[in-house]
Amino acid sequence: MSAPWKNTRALRVPVRIPLRLRLLHSPVGEKAETDFHNGNNLMSNLSRTGFFLSTKNYFEVGSVLEVEFHLEKIEEIIRAEVEVVRANNQNYPSQGRFEYGLKFTGMHPHFREALGGHLEAFGA
């Protein structure tokens, strides 16, 4: 019998969702941004705990961002705070693209409930 804490990875739903973001905190001292920007950002999977991001923006692991994205199925714009927990910057740097794993670190309960409802529709 496997221990329930062994498999802590949340089920992921494949998506293609553009999002806006802004830097709140950088572990190397970059200045926080006051405005959201599009930056050609694309979410390519989504779970209750985070998502995968492809973007033209470079971030350090440990950076904290604020993001907002539209979930069409439930007509809701989700706003959340996320942390960069993984970076895969070797795939497309020549094309000006970087890839990141982001973890949700802060989200209003209403947004968390809306996100949960959206993911339940996909069996996640």
pLDDT level of residue 96 (50, 70, 90 thresholds): confident
The domain segmentation of the chain, as residue ranges, is: 13-120
Q: What are phi and psi of 22, to 5 degrees?
A: -150, 145
Q: CA–CA separation, 72 vs 99, rounded Å?
A: 24
Alpha-carbon Rg for the chain, nearest whole angstrom, is: 15
pLDDT level of residue 74 (50, 70, 90 thresholds): confident
CATH of the domain spanning 13-120: 2.40.10.220
pLDDT of the residue at 3: 39
Q: CA–CA separation, 63 vs 92, rounded Å?
A: 20
Chain centroid offset of residue 121 CA: 19
pLDDT of the residue at 71: 87
Please give the residue that has the higher pLDDT: either 93 or 86: 86
